Amino acid sequence: MKDVFLWPLLLIWLIKAVISDPQTNLLDRDCSPSISTDVSGYLSNRNNTFKDLRGQLLKNNTKFATAEQYGVYALVQCRDYLSDADCLACFDAAVSLSLNCLSDGTARVIFEGCYLRYEGEDFYKVATLPGNTWKCSPNQSSIKENLIDPVVKGLLRDLEIATPKTNGFFAAATRRIHASGTDSTIYAVAQCAQTVSQRVCRNCLSVANRNIQNCPPQAGGSSVDAGCFLRYSDVPFFPKNATTDITPFLRASSSTKSRISLCVVGGVCIFLLILALMLWYRLFRKTAKRGVISGLINYDYKDLKSATKNFCEEYKVGEGGFGDVYKGVLEKGHVVAVKKLATSSSKVKENFESEIKLTSEVNHRNIIRLLGYSRKGPELLLVFEYMENGSLDKFLYGEERGTLSWKQRFDIIFGIARGLAYLHEEFHTSIIHRDIKSSNILLDVDYHPKIADFGLARLIAEDQSHFTTGFAGTLGYTAPEYAIHGHLSEKVDTYAYGVVVLEIISGGQSVNMKTDSVTDPLLAHAWKLYADGMHLDLVDETLNPDEYSTETVKKIIELALMCTQSPTSTRPTMSKVVASLTNISSVEHISQSKPTWSSYQHLQSLQEDGEQFALKGIQT
């Protein structure tokens, strides 16, 4: 008889188990690999933050928690519509996946149902980072395209506006499609991390919304960033009672309307005055600034001239084929790098603003940031963020040789790979750098690498197509197919990256520019050592052997050589390089597929014959 009363309870438990869904479909995973020999202290602190987060979720029945343990900051946030049990299950799955990172730095795991992030510094106020991404359903919606597309876009736009105004930065909404015999519903949610400001939330969702516009008419899509989430679907993924009434957040309040009415009345009164001023501006201020590029500062030439002490030699921090670079100290003490472009071409000046507009949109932690420009003076000027430690080459074979530890070198190798992967595959337009080399890798105060001069070869080269004879490269780093035949692809950068990695490991220069001979460059030497099974002889003797694993170094050397193989199809993509560096044991043994050594002799003969060979470069 007792068993009869247990059956309803068992049935309820089974139903609950069936409908339980922690929504652990992976949307994004990002982590920095660990290469330190002793990270136990960091990992212990990280694991303690995980325990703290889980305890908060379990004890407080909350969907959001932060924790900090001796320099390790962590955050977890579940979608508000998840049950407490599903939230906990989603968190556990995220923790399990983040442990695979073996990271002593940063990690992000984003599922459809929750989000986990930890770093070695306070990140709570940041929502938008490079690498924001989206994922669309593989299936096209059964709803007609002309019906689903405007409804999805309208609903997501409303969520973008309303969510930053809600308590907790979360909103779930639906919109019905009832037309032409179709009776369907679109479901969507938006969420920001509770630690960010309303403005940061709004900006993050704006980026996420732009990205997810790539999905309709697919059945669903998700867009994620470091601190926000946006998702839609033509099937329900949250319960009806989780829906938010976003209408109040979309319409202006009565007081706001009153203020608007007063402004309109006042605006009518001064309309004629404004019109007169506009006419005066057009007639008598023809020298006013024009072509201001969104997000960039249009500097006055004389201000930059003053900031660099009239471009004096003392302030010069680099020089090369694209132009000289100067340290600039602006009025408020802000330090910048000012590059004088070495060109007098009318075509370059004509394309200047359109090209740097593209450059201004690039946003990645491992790519130098363009702050502004000046085109009104005698030279075209670009203004970049200032890198305190200058260029990588001086730390490899220059005056600072031997000062970089193995961990710093590995972080630089990894950072360059991430920056190139972003330019090639993650930015909305594929950008080929064309001139990757150690002097074009800049180091900030913490020795984090940033790629410089991206986009400048594209601006200055005479032909901007992917098949070009307008050569922009540097001897020793240039892929054979580009140097000899002008064949340009992303694999040209991959080749140069492989050479730079060999320089970082060896502390040697790709080609000794002080001699006339280029018959045995660093790359050829590395291939010979590899063929003899002696590639560890390449390692810089200034490195402390206790700092690195010999197996790790061997794998990285092999990966670098793989990047220089011929034909180009045998070279990995930069995203594959990033994945290999994240899990270095996955690097496979490579076949003897060497590059064409004759290309170096060919380039040398071009110089000797006096033909044009552009040794483009910069050392900022």
Helices (H), 270-405: 271-284, 301-307, 346-360, 393-396
Tokens for 522, please give them: 């660093």
CB atoms within 10 A of CB 294: 7
Cα(421)–Cα(176) distance, integer angstroms? 40
Q: What angle do CA 408, 414, 619 make, to 5 degrees?
A: 70
Cα(562)–Cα(265) distance, integer angstroms? 70
Cα(170)–Cα(430) distance, integer angstroms? 34
Q: Mark 83-122 as b/e (b = at least 16 C-beta within 10 Å).
A: beebbbbbbbbbbebbbebbbbbbbbbbbbbbbbbbbbee
Cross-strand pairs, 69:
72
Closest among 216, 249, 247 to 230, alpha carbons compared: 216
What's at 500, amino acid-wise?
A: V
Handedness of CA 236, 237, 243, 246 (dihedral sign): negative
Tokens for 442, please give them: 């800049």
Catalytic residue among 30, 234, 324, 435: 435
Handedness of CA 575, 578, 582, 587 (dihedral sign): positive
Whether the CB-CB separation of 18 and 32 falls below 8 Å is answered with no
**Is 435 one of the catalytic residues?**
yes
Whether the CB-CB separation of 498 and 565 falls below 8 Å is answered with no
CB-based burial of residue 330 (10 Å sphere; 0-12 exposed, 13-18 middle, 19+ buried)? middle
* Catalytic residue numbers, as ranges: 435
